[in-house]
Amino acid sequence: MGRKKKVVEQTVPVEPQHTQEELALMARHPGRAIQPGSLTPPPGKRSVVILCPSCGQTRQVYLADLHQVKLCPSCTVKARKEAARARRQARKETQQ
């Protein structure tokens, strides 16, 4: 008694499906993990919710900005700082 039964899960839990439009957006913008069903319907400014590949936070992005947005705001700042530091470092090394 008290033995835990090992549950072998073979079926993937029911997940919301990406719409054709969302699939097309992901094909056009590689690296964006669009949350299934998050694309807002027309009319008006349409947006999707993407998942930050770095920390997993969600972020709402207008379609017009999707080509330049990949990370959540905090990771974008972090990535920018790191890129600047790398550039500074590279410059320092070439001067020595």
The binding site for Zn ion (CB under 5 A) comprises: 52, 54-55, 57, 72, 75
Nearest approach, Cβ of 73 to Zn ion (angstroms)? 8
Nearest approach, Cβ of 76 to Zn ion (angstroms)? 8
Nearest approach, Cβ of 4 to Zn ion (angstroms)? 35
Q: 10 Å Cβ neighbour count for 40?
A: 14
In this complex, which beta carbon is closest to Zn ion, that of residue 84 or of residue 90? 84
3-class secondary structure per residue, the chain: CCCCCCCCCCCCCCCCCCCHHHHHHHHHCCCCEECCCCCCCCCCCCEEEEECCCCCCEEEEEHHHHHHCCCCHHHHHHHHHHHHHHHHHHHHHHHC
In this complex, which beta carbon is closest to Zn ion, that of residue 24 or of residue 65? 65
In this complex, which beta carbon is closest to Zn ion, that of residue 81 or of residue 88? 81
